[in-house]
Amino acid sequence: MSRPARRISRALIVILAMIVSLIALSIIYRVRRTQIAAPIAPPANSLPLPPFIGPSAPDGPATRPAAPSEPTSSTVVLASALEPPTTLPSSPLTILSDARAKIDVGNLLAARTQLNDTLQSGQLDPSDDAAIKAMIQQISQTVVFGRGHFPDDPWGGTCSVQSGESLARIAAQHDTTWELLSRINGIDPRHLRAGATIKVVEGPFFGVVDKHKFTMDLYLGGLPGERSSMYVTSFSVGLGRDQSTPVGTWMVEPHHKLKHPTYYSPRGEGVIAADDPKNPLGGYWIGLTGTEGQAVGKLSYGIHGTIDPSSIGKQSSMGCIRLRTEDIALVYDLMVEGKSMVVVKD
């Protein structure tokens, strides 16, 4: 073979070898690409993977979500949202327990304030309402009606009797009655001594009669719901038959508080003397005058005692509010003419 022919043959061999190499490289590339793209089949007994929780994945290859034992950040946020708050409102049971602890160490004023704030919230069910009222009533027997002095009581306190002062004058300065000051201090008004320190109550008292419950609740400083209002105690009452006790607001009428009143019967029974056992007023009369609601314009209504204790808790009167003998004696001493108000509600 001539030299030019051999050169051409060698060149063809080189070209063919290059072509074969390129084909082989192309085949290898395609096989590896197919293996990368193919999904990995899970074992036959494995559970399916949980769905991805969180923001959408960015464009690009799919990313496998975290395993259940390694929650994503979004899962942590959802779990924390279900946790209870670190501070919960106190339950009535807790409040009663806290108040009892304060009472046990002699901190009656703090216990009363805690209980009264809870009561005035108006968010208690009937049983809790009754339990808190019962505890405040116990405190009131000492703080309000007892003879112990509580100088820091915002609804009471003490005062020093000045020369020439009378119990009636001191009572008027505190919107209360001399009868109440005499009762809680155990003193005769005629024997008041200058320089003496006596217990006082910052009145007037306010009453709320609940016709459904046959009760009258007493407050100092204002009616329930007002910021200055402090619950004191409650009494069972008798009311007018056939719902005849008018709903509305009443004021204790000036010059119409009477002890041993004569009874002028509207039923045709005539006049019954104060000392007559048949006198139905039970020894006391607190005249009321209507100022709001159905009470406006009503005459001859009042709060009084009764000679028929069985009528308490019933509709038996001609429209007046009846109290037991021992209760009317106290309420008479509490109510201030021209200032004490009584609300009657259904």
Which is it for the CA torsion 235, 236, 238, 243, positive or negative?
Answer: positive
Instruction: For residue range 108-120, list pLDDT tens digits in order.
Output: 999 999 999 999 9
Instruction: Give residue 1's pLDDT.
Output: 52
Residues of the chain with CATH 3.10.350.10: 92-201
Instruction: Give residue 267's pLDDT.
Output: 78
Instruction: Give residue 70's pLDDT.
Output: 40
Cβ-based neighbours of 149, under 8 Å, separated by 6 or more: 158, 197, 199
Task: Please state the rounded mean pLDDT for residues 85-98.
Answer: 75
CA dist., res. 115 & res. 109, Å (int): 10
Which is it for the CA torsion 92, 95, 101, 107, positive or negative?
Answer: negative
Instruction: Give residue 28's pLDDT.
Output: 52
Of 7 and 159, the one with more pLDDT: 159
Instruction: For residue range 203-257, list pLDDT tens digits in order.
Output: 999 999 999 999 999 999 999 999 899 999 999 999 999 999 999 999 999 999 9
Of 336 and 36, the one with more pLDDT: 336
CA dist., res. 282 & res. 306, Å (int): 4
Instruction: For residue range 261-318, list pLDDT tens digits in order.
Output: 999 988 778 899 999 999 999 999 999 999 999 999 998 999 999 999 999 999 999 9
Instruction: For residue 44, name the pLDDT band (cuts at 50, 70, 90).
Output: very low
> Does pLDDT of 30 surpass 50?
yes
Lowest mean pLDDT of 6-20, 43-57, 150-164, 232-246, name the range: 43-57
User: Do residues 135 and 143 make contact, with C-beta atoms less than 8 angstroms apart?
Assistant: no
Residues of the chain with CATH 2.40.440.10: 205-345
What values do phi and psi take at 154, rounded to 5? -65, -15
Instruction: For residue 344, name the pLDDT band (cuts at 50, 70, 90).
Output: very high
Task: Please state the rounded mean pLDDT for residues 38-44.
Answer: 38
CA dist., res. 282 & res. 316, Å (int): 15
Select from 285, 334, 3 the least CA-distant residue to 181: 334
What values do phi and psi take at 231, rounded to 5? -70, 140
Strands 301-304 and 321-322: parallel
Instruction: For residue 90, name the pLDDT band (cuts at 50, 70, 90).
Output: confident
Instruction: Give residue 209's pLDDT.
Output: 98
CA distances from 99 to 88, 93, 94 (A): 18, 10, 8
Instruction: For residue 65, name the pLDDT band (cuts at 50, 70, 90).
Output: very low
CA dist., res. 261 & res. 304, Å (int): 10
**Strand stretches in the chain, DSSP E:** 156-160, 197-201, 205-210, 215-220, 230-236, 239-240, 248-259, 263-264, 271-272, 284-293, 301-304, 315-317, 321-322, 341-345
Instruction: For residue 27, name the pLDDT band (cuts at 50, 70, 90).
Output: low
Lowest mean pLDDT of 47-51, 86-90, 247-251, name the range: 47-51
> Does pLDDT of 132 surpass 70?
yes
Buried b (16+ CB within 10 A) or exposed e, 319-330: bbbbbbeebbbb
Lowest mean pLDDT of 78-82, 160-164, 293-297, name the range: 78-82
- The DSSP letter of residue 13 is H
- Annotation: CATH topology of 92-201: Membrane-bound Lytic Murein Transglycosylase D; Chain A (3.10.350)
Average pLDDT, whole number, for the chain?
A: 83
| Complete DSSP assignment for 128-187 | HHHHHHHHHHHHHHHHTSSS---TT-TTEEEEEPPTT--HHHHHHHTTS-HHHHHHHHT-
Structure tokens at 220: 């100092």
Select from 199, 99, 95, 204 the least CA-distant residue to 152: 199
- Annotation: CATH topology of 205-345: L,D-transpeptidase catalytic domain-like (2.40.440)
Instruction: Give residue 11's pLDDT.
Output: 62
Single-letter code of the amino acid located at 314 = K
Instruction: Give residue 10's pLDDT.
Output: 64
Instruction: Return the SS3 of 112.
Output: helix
Instruction: Give residue 51's pLDDT.
Output: 37
Cβ-based neighbours of 53, under 8 Å, separated by 6 or more: 65, 72, 74, 75
Task: Please state the rounded mean pLDDT for residues 125-137.
Answer: 96
CA distances from 145 to 31, 79, 156, 232, 280 (A): 101, 55, 11, 10, 28
CA dist., res. 10 & res. 224, Å (int): 116
Place of tokens 């069972």: 236
